Amino acid sequence: MQQMLPDQEGLQIRYLGRLFDNTSECYKLFWFQAILRRILEGKQEATYEEIIDEMIADAWYMVTEYHLNLGPKDTLEYAVNRLQELTGMKPSEEKEKVLSCIRDCKDQTLRKYKSTLTLNVPYRLLAPFVDFKGKDWDQPKNALVQRLNAYRDSNRLLYRFENVDGLKTRICFDEGWMEYLRKNQAIVQGWIRYNLVEYLQRRNPNVPGVIDKLYPPAERNLTDVQKYWKMILQIRPIREIYGDGTLSEKDLSIDHFVPWSYVANDELWNLHPTTRSINSAKSNNLPCWDVYFLPLAGLEYEAYELMWTHDVLHREFEKCKRKHLNSPLVEGRLYGPGLSREEFTGRLEEVVSPVYRSAKAAGFHEWRYE
């Protein structure tokens, strides 16, 4: 994807385009993304610790909310999990609060992870700009920094190093590269995003919708689905599947049976009504299959029967499916006319069960309402 980056006289764009070649770990992607953000904020320099804190905050949602695997024995993932263990912050917490907690945290284990993240990536990111061989990287950091800094005039490195001192080490961004990155920020951000998605999809081959799991969860618009279920309530009382109470229009919330943070879609077969408090308590957990799947199937079949016997509800279903039924195969198998309860339940299980099992394997925990 090097060709995505526009040329500029005086800068070695071909070297920039090779930053993420042979990416076996995620650190370069997060490190460069954090540097770009600092530059776009108008900063001319940053300490290792400031960049690492930004990296942990960027990875927070991927690891805690979406359960993405960053790599085998990945130190950045360890740092995120340690922070959550220490703070108990909710996965969907705002980034500024996550950053604040990282900066205030004095935990020695977390600081050890942060230090580990600085051992190689600040230097190795610059590999495309220099002609180092394998052993050239294996030297004391002061000597390595001295050699790298010597390149800045000839090959215009992205940054130079100052006062090497662990997490307090400071890097100063090259003015030419700062101008280039600001000028082409939309293209560069898209390039980083492309490489990050490619890396994460490789590490999470069975996870759907990786591209929607890079950043904090966005509000989802389920107004039409809510309207559909409220219309059903006007025709017949409906019992909630977790708490077993009767649902009301005033306290109706739409739940993703398999959490949205795994499926990253709003398909109708995975949506059902519950109450606001129960939906909040469930959060992004998996309902216990043995307890809740058959009640879910029963509820969905009630809606299916009513949809085929009430024209007004069928019209609402037709509106709803334009956004919330994106597989013609699933639509034909689950929502075609004439299905018995047993047929519908079996077909719904064929659709939901593989997704459920995959989410469970990815680390989503089973949940029961109490």
Q: Which band of pLDDT confidence, cut at 50, 70 and 90, is reported for residue 26? A: very high
Residue where a domain terminates, one of 186, 213, 240 = 213
Q: Are residues 241 and 104 in the same domain?
A: no
Q: Is residue 265 part of a domain?
A: yes
Q: Which band of pLDDT confidence, cut at 50, 70 and 90, is reported for residue 154? A: low
Task: Please report, rounded to a whole number, the percentage of residues in the chain having pLDDT higher than 90.
Answer: 81
Q: Are residues 144 and 192 in the same domain?
A: yes
Q: Is residue 294 part of a domain?
A: yes
Q: Which two tokens stand for residue 360?
A: 């469970």
d(CA 359, CA 333): 23
Mean pLDDT of 303-331: 95
Q: What is the 3-state secondary structure (H, E, C) of 105-154?
A: CCCHHHHHHHHHHCCCHHHHCCHHHCCCCHHHHCCCHHHHHHHHHCCCCC
Q: Are strands 271-274 and 253-256 parallel, antiparallel or unpaired?
A: antiparallel
Q: Are residues 271 and 196 in the same domain?
A: no
Q: How high is the mean pLDDT of the chain?
A: 93
Instruction: Indicate whether 178 pLDDT > 50.
Output: yes
Q: Which two tokens stand for residue 328?
A: 């013609």
Instruction: Indicate whether 155 pLDDT > 80.
Output: no
pTM of this structure: 0.83
Q: What is the domain extent for residue 87?
A: 2-213
Mean pLDDT of 243-251: 89
Q: Are residues 127 and 151 in the same domain?
A: yes
**Residue 78 near residue 113 (C-beta atoms within 8 A):** yes
Residue where a domain terminates, one of 183, 213, 243 = 213
Tell me the three state secondary structure of residue 300. Answer: helix
pLDDT tens-place string over residues 36-86? 999 999 999 999 999 999 999 999 999 998 999 999 889 999 999 999 999
Q: What is the DSSP letter of 65?
A: I
Q: Which band of pLDDT confidence, cut at 50, 70 and 90, is reported for residue 152? A: low
Q: Are residues 35 and 147 in the same domain?
A: yes
- For residue 151, CA distances in Å to 10, 119, 126, 142, 181 come to 14, 20, 10, 15, 20
Q: Are residues 176 and 279 in the same domain?
A: no
Instruction: Indicate whether 219 pLDDT > 80.
Output: no
Which residues are registered as beta bridge partners of 172?
A: 45, 160
d(CA 109, CA 115): 10
Q: Please give the tally of structural domains in the chain.
A: 2
Instruction: Indicate whether 230 pLDDT > 90.
Output: yes
Q: What is the DSSP letter of 283?
A: T
Q: Is residue 306 part of a domain?
A: yes
Q: Which band of pLDDT confidence, cut at 50, 70 and 90, is reported for residue 214? A: confident
**Residue 306 near residue 237 (C-beta atoms within 8 A):** no
* Through-space distance between the first and last CA atoms of the chain, rounded to whole angstroms: 51
Task: Please report, rounded to a whole number, the percentage of residues in the chain having pLDDT higher than 70.
Answer: 97
Between 10 and 366, residue with greater pLDDT: 366
Identify the pLDDT of residue 216. 77
Instruction: Indicate whether 238 pLDDT > 80.
Output: yes
Q: Are residues 7 and 80 in the same domain?
A: yes
Mean pLDDT of 142-148: 92
Q: Is residue 218 part of a domain?
A: no
Q: Is residue 316 part of a domain?
A: yes
Identify the pLDDT of residue 1. 47
Across 42-69, b (16+ Cβ under 10 Å) vs e yields eeeebbbbbbbbbbbbbbbbbbbbbbbb
Identify the pLDDT of residue 324. 95
Q: Are residues 134 and 201 in the same domain?
A: yes
Residue where a domain terminates, one of 191, 213, 235 = 213
Q: Are residues 282 and 356 in the same domain?
A: yes
Mean pLDDT of 196-211: 92
Burial class from Cβ neighbours inside 10 Å (0-12, 13-18, 19+) for residue 229 reads: buried
Q: Are residues 256 and 282 in the same domain?
A: yes
Q: Are residues 235 and 188 in the same domain?
A: no
Chain position carrying tokens 């309530």: 233
- Residues 247, 326, 199, 354: is their CA dihedral positive or negative? positive
Q: Is residue 287 part of a domain?
A: yes
Mean pLDDT of 342-355: 97
Q: Are residues 272 and 231 in the same domain?
A: yes
